[in-house]
Structure 1
């Protein structure tokens, strides 16, 4: 198997979720640090437009979204599992809630004026302006919670999480995907320092649980440049689509059609290519880039929009 290459940056909460997946499965991986704001030319060379963080690259296959990355890692190394035997559905549902509802409450609270001051304390004013403009562009058609409303919701969510901790982790005595997904929005807040992390004071059991999740670690990472990662893609061919892969046609778009895929909410950028797979769980497009060569870009079904490309 080709190396696992995670394209990420240290302060990304969703990258922290992916890093913990690597740790839970005790994997060796290569770390490509990418910009946290556009332009991201090396990312776009691999995806064709998609720019959210993180990406998992295996040879010439590019996997978008941590939900799909979790499934890929689970397939490559089933043990220890991200999905508890008796709670597979619950783990997925809880993770989806954490990645959406919980995350946006956390983000609106953490990036309130006092949180921003802490997060960007050691950076020039233009860094904050650039970050704010970049994220505003990604929130097209999204309603953003006001800090006060986010704070109220966030406090309620923390109490609900605390009520689930009758054992060491959320669903069982061992960590699973649900723990990693619920953890990463809270990690984003906690790393902002005491000015905003005092929201956890009312739920000490949540803090103790966070410490247990953090102990999972990040596996063994070694750096790789984005130039090297693009060369890896160029020097490989995408994994062939299995001949028995079931085509689930929910859109009336046949395989071989030119299509676009984009996130349904945050991050409006589209990736365009030829539809080579549409299973019950994922969409795969094939595209060719002058630097990366031929690649397959994989997206989960949930949370993404497939359309026929306009002629």
Structure 2
């Protein structure tokens, strides 16, 4: 098997979700640190435009969005499973809620003036301005909660998670599922990056204990790697997907082989353009060629992404 190369940065909450899953599955991986804000030239050479964090590279296959990357890691290491039967559907639904509703409530709460001071208190004004402008560009027309509204929602969500932990160590039973990893990472950001805001977690002690259990999983075996070598790996490799479903599912009237773009529905609207080589019930795949990365296949989950034909 080709090496797992994770393009990420230390304070990225969605990266923490994957780092813990890599640890849970005891997988070895290579770490490429990418910039927190644009430009991200080496990453975009691989993805064709997509710049959300993290991205998983395996040879010349580039997997975008943690929802899809979780499926790849489950294929590589089926045990311990993050989608155990009989509740895998419930785990996926809860994870999707956590990666969207819970995440954005937590972030709106974390980015209150006090939380922002934790993150940027010692940073030069130009750094703060650049980060703010970058995230504004990625947000597009998204409607964000105000901090006070977010605090109320966040407290409610923490109470609901606490209720789920009354009689069990993890949200859906005796072992963690994808739901645990998805619910954990927004709370991890509150605890680690905005400590002055972390008092909200003390209102639900069961959640704090669960967070300690999750943190103890660790990140697996990591090796420092660099972006230039990752591009060399892509150039020297031939795409070979690890996604198991391949049946064409046409919802758009767009044939395989067509030039298309794929972009996220909301946050991170930058589009990737290429040749559509797969459109299954779960994912899209584009073939594209870059002068630095060679020919790569870029994979996206179907849910949360928009497929459009490129006009001739």
TM-score normalised by L of structure 2: 0.97
C-alpha distance in 1 between matches for 2:11 and 2:298: 24
Tell me the SS of whatever aligns to 1:161.
helix
Structure 2 CA distance, aligned partners of 1:17 and 1:282? 20
* Distance (whole Å) between structure 1 residues aligned to residue 307 and residue 210 of structure 2: 38
Q: How many angstroms apart in 1 are the aligned matches of 2:75 and 2:265?
A: 26
Q: Summarize the Cα distance change of 1:298–1:151 in structure 2 as closer, same or farther, 3 Å threshold.
A: same
Q: Distance in 2 between matches of 1:243 and 1:78?
A: 13
CA distance in 1, matches of 2:193, 2:65: 24
- In the TM superposition, what are the counterparts of 1:186-225 in structure 2 within 5 Å? 186-225=187-226
The aligned residue for residue 161 of structure 1 is 161
In terms of mean alpha carbon deviation, does 78-87 or 188-197 score higher?
188-197
User: Could you say if the C-alpha distance between residues 61 and 160 of structure 1 is closer, same or farther in structure 2, counting changes exceeding 3 Å?
Assistant: same
Runs (4+) of structure 1 exceeding 2 A deviation are 240-245
Counterpart of 2:109 in structure 1 is: 109
Pairs within 5 Å for 1:1-311: 1-165=1-165, 166-239=167-240, 245-311=246-312
Deviation string for 1:59-118 (max 9, x for gaps)?
Answer: 000000000000001011100101121110011000000000000000000011100001
Distance 1:221 1:46 in 2: 21
Q: Bigger CA drift: 182-191 or 192-201?
A: 192-201
Point out where structure 2 has 5 or more consecutive residues left out of the alignment.
Answer: none
Q: Secondary structure at 2:99's aligned position in 1?
A: helix
Contact 1:241/1:277 (CA < 8 Å) preserved in 2? no
SS in 1 for 2:203: coil
Distance 1:243 1:141, change over 3 A: closer
SS at match of 2:10: coil
Distance 2:94 2:53 in 1: 20
Structure 1 length as normaliser, TM-score? 0.98
Give the CA RMSD over aligned residues: 1.4
Displacement after TM superposition at 1:245 (Å): 2.3
Q: C-alpha deviations, 1:156-198, integer Å up to 9, x for none?
A: 0000100000200000111111100000000011113441001
CA, structure 1 residues 50+193, in 2 after alignment: closer, same or farther (shift >3 Å)? closer
With 113-122 and 10-19 compared, the bigger mean Cα shift is at 113-122
Number of corresponding residues: 311
CA distance in structure 2 between the aligned counterparts of 1:98 and 1:23, rounded to whole angstroms: 20
